[in-house]
Structure 1
C-alpha cells in the first residue's frame, strides 16, 4: 500500500484583533454549529474556539492551498463578530475563567461525562488524516508508528505559555491533554479484531460511547477510512503544517509495507519519550525512535526524513521536505519564536500580535 490521500484539521482560538485578548462569541459558535460559518469551519467545545477541516488532498501544493483557504474561512467567520483567530495551541495570557461552553448536544454530553476535563479545555491541536485501505492496515500502522509520535509532536510545539506564565515546555498542550484517560499513545492492538475488542471493553466501562471519543495520539477514524495523527500542536507557520502532514503521510506509507514485528517499546518508556518531546521540542535531545537512546533533536528529525526518503522521493516531495526541515531547525518552532518575542519586548501582547502575523490571521 502507498498512502496517497490526506486531510488536515486545525483548531484556533478566537481573539480580539486589536488587543489579542481571548473572546467568547456565542454568535460565531452558533453559526458553526448550524454549518453557517463557512464550508470548512466547524464548532469546538468552547465558544472561544473554531475548527477547520480541509477536503481530501493528494499533493503538498494542495495541502498548502487548502490551509490558506480554511484559515481564511475561519478568519471570515470570526470577523462577523469583530474577531480573528489565533494559530497557537495555548493562548499566551488567557485563563480558564474566560471559557464558555458551546451550546450543542455533543458538548453537553461531553461535559456530563468528563466534567472539569471538558470545561477546562482551553487548548487547540492539529490532526492529520491519512487514507488507508482498511482497519487492519490502520492498526498495523498504529502499532509500528508509536515510537515516532513524540518526534512528530516535538516539531509542532506552539504552547510554551499558559495563563500568562512560561510553563518551561515547548508543548504545554501535550501535558494538559495527558490528564484525559483516553489520551496519549495507544498500546499495540495487533489487528482490527484487537482494536474492536479494546473499544468494546472501554465502552463497557462507561468511559466512552464509541471509538470517536478515544483521543489517542493516533487512532483509526470512525467516520472516514483514515488513520488520524492527533498529537500535534497547532503550527503557527503554514510551512510547518505542510511538513508535518508530509511526514505523517509518508510514515503511514512506509509502515504499511513493513512486515517486521511491531517494536516492543514499554509504555513507561514511550510516555517518557512523549514527555521529553513536550518539554524540549526540537531544542536539546529526544528519544531516538529506533534505538530508544537520547540523541540531538536535529539528528532525530533528519533520521526520520532519511527513513522516509525513498517514499518521499517517489512522490516528488523529498527536496521540499528537506528544505522545510532545514528551515524549521534553523528558526525553531512557534514556541521558540514566542519566547524570543517576549524576551525582546517584555510584552505578552506582542507575542499575540506576532502570532497573528505569522499565522496569516491578522486583520
Structure 2
C-alpha cells in the first residue's frame, strides 16, 4: 500500500459569499473582485451562478500540509481582493437573511442556459458548497470507490453542515443548503453502477433525452469529474474554518483509499438502495451532529457521534500509515465537542439575537489563521 500513497491527490474547491460590510447583506460584486486579483492568481478563481458568490480552487496537492497551505492562500487572495473593493468574504452554506430575489445571475452562456432551463430553481440557488477531488486515474476502480463511499455520505454532511438560516429564519436544519440543492434533477446520492461503461451509458442517455446539457450537469454527491481524472465528493457545505476543510479532505482521501483497497480485495459490501441513502442524507441535513444518523451499511440508526467514530475506525489504518491520524482524529473530536458550523452560528444568534452578528462571526471564522490584519476594520470580532 505504501507505494501508492502518492497517487491519491487532493484538490479543493470552495464557494464563498461576498458581503457588504455596512449592511452585512450579500453584494453582487464577483466581477469587480475578480478584476482586483493579480493576473497570476485569476486562473484559480471563478465566478459562480450568482454575482454575490465566488469560487476558488486549489492546485493539485499531495499532502494535507500542501492542502492547508493552498486553502489558506486561496482565502487570503480572495479576502485581500475583496477588501480592495470594500467587501468581505464569508464561508457559509447559506446567508442568514439576504433574499434570493435580490440576487443576480452571472452573465455567462452556461449560467444563462441554466436559468432558462431551470427558471425558479436556478434563481433560488443562493447556496455554497465545498467540492473535494481525489485523484484516481483508473475509472473502473473509481466506480467501485463510488459504490462503497456512497454509504458514508451522511457523516461527511453532518460534519460539514453550516447553513442553519434562510431568509431571516432558523430553518431547523443544520444544512438547509442540502434540501435546496437536492431539488436539482441530478442531485443526491449516486446510483450503484456496475462499471464505467454503465456510468458513461447513463450520462449519454441523460444527454440524449435532453435531461442535461453535458456531463458537468451530473450533480450527484459523488461523481467522476468530467475534466480531471478524479472522484469528486460534493455533499458538503462550505466550511467555516480552514481546519474543518482540511479535516474533510483528509477524511475523504482516506475513505477513497480504503474503499479502493476493499474493492481490490473484493471485500463484500451492502448495495444500499438510493431511497435509504436519500433518507440518510436528509437526516444528516436536518439534525447534523445533534441526533441519530442512518447507517446504510448496518441498516439501522445510531447517535451521530457513534457513526462518526465508526467511520474513524474504518479509516484508521490508512490515516495511520499516512501519518495523518493524530491531526484528523483530533480535529474531528474538537468539532464533535464544539459543534459544526451550524451549531456555532446558532450560538452567536442566541447570544446576540442579530443576524448581522452571525455574518460578522462567519467572516471572522473564514479569515481565522490567515495573516490578514483585523485592525484594518474589515472584520468585526465577536466578543464572548
TM-score after normalising by structure 1: 0.96
Give distance in 1, aligned partners of 2:135 and 2:185: 27
Contact 1:23 1:98 in 2 (8 A): no
Q: Does 1:335 align with 2:342?
A: yes
> What is the Cα deviation at residue 297 of structure 1?
0.7
**CA deviation after TM superposition for structure 1 residue 18, in Å:** 3.8
Please name the residue that 2:143 is paired with: 139
Retained in 1: the 8 A contact 2:89–2:366? no
- Cα deviation for residue 195 of structure 1 reads 0.3
1:289 is displaced (CA, Å) by 4.3
Q: Which residue of 1 aligns with 2:353?
A: 346
Shift of 1:47: 0.5
Give 1:306's aligned residue: 313
Q: Kindly tell me the number of residue pairs found equivalent between the two proteins.
A: 363
1:188 is aligned to 192
- 1:114 corresponds in structure 2 to 118
Report how far residue 25 of structure 1 moved. Answer: 1.6
2:242 maps to which of 217, 222, 238: 238
How far the C-alpha of 1:39 sits from its partner, in A, is 4.0
Q: Deviations over 1:230-286 (max 9, x none)?
A: 010010011111111101101100101212344221221111100000011011111
Structure 1 residues 185-224: aligned runs within 5 Å: 185-224=189-228
Indicate how the Cα distance of structure 1 residues 277 and 178 shifts in structure 2: closer, same or farther if over 3 A, else same: same
Q: Are the structure 2 counterparts of residues 223 and 306 from structure 1 closer, same or farther at C-alpha, using a change threshold of 3 Å?
A: same
1:17-60 superposed Cα distances (whole Å, 9 cap, x missing partner): 34321111264277499978734211101100000000000111
* Structure-2 change in CA distance of 1:62 and 1:201 (3 Å): same
CA distance in 2, matches of 1:321, 1:74: 26
2:180 pairs with 171, 176, 199, which one? 176
Matched, 1:105 2:109: yes
Report Cα offsets for 1:313-347 as digits up to 9, x if no partner.
11000011111011000100010011111111111
> Could you tell which deviates more after superposition, 95-104 or 20-29?
20-29
CA distance in 1, matches of 2:356, 2:9: 39
1:325 aligns with 2:329: no
The CA RMSD over aligned residues, in Å, is: 1.9
Structure 2 counterpart SS, 1:155: helix
Q: 1:34 to 1:108 in 2, by over 3 A?
A: farther
User: 1 CA distance for matches of 2:215 and 2:36?
Assistant: 24
Cα 1:353/1:146, change in 2 over 3 Å: same
CA contact (8 A) 1:131 1:227 kept: yes
2:276 is matched with 269
Contact 1:182 / 1:215 at 8 angstroms: preserved in 2? Answer: yes
Determine the C-alpha separation between the residues in 2 that align with 1:343 and 1:31. 38
Task: Confirm or deny: 8 A CA contact 1:28 1:37 kept in the other structure.
Answer: no
Runs of 4+ in 1 over 6 A off after TM superposition: 32-37
1:13 aligns with 2:17: yes
Contact 1:132 1:226 in 2 (8 A): yes
Q: Which moves more between the two structures, 33-42 or 105-114?
A: 33-42
Instruction: Tell me the residue number matched to 1:129.
Output: 133
User: Are the counterparts in 2 of residues 153 and 231 from structure 1 also a CA contact under 8 Å?
Assistant: yes
Q: What TM-score, normalized to structure 2? A: 0.90
Structure 1 counterpart of 2:260? 256
Q: Which residue number corresponds to residue 61 of structure 1?
A: 65
How far off its partner does 1:136 sit? Answer: 1.1
Contact 1:28 1:80 in 2 (8 A): no
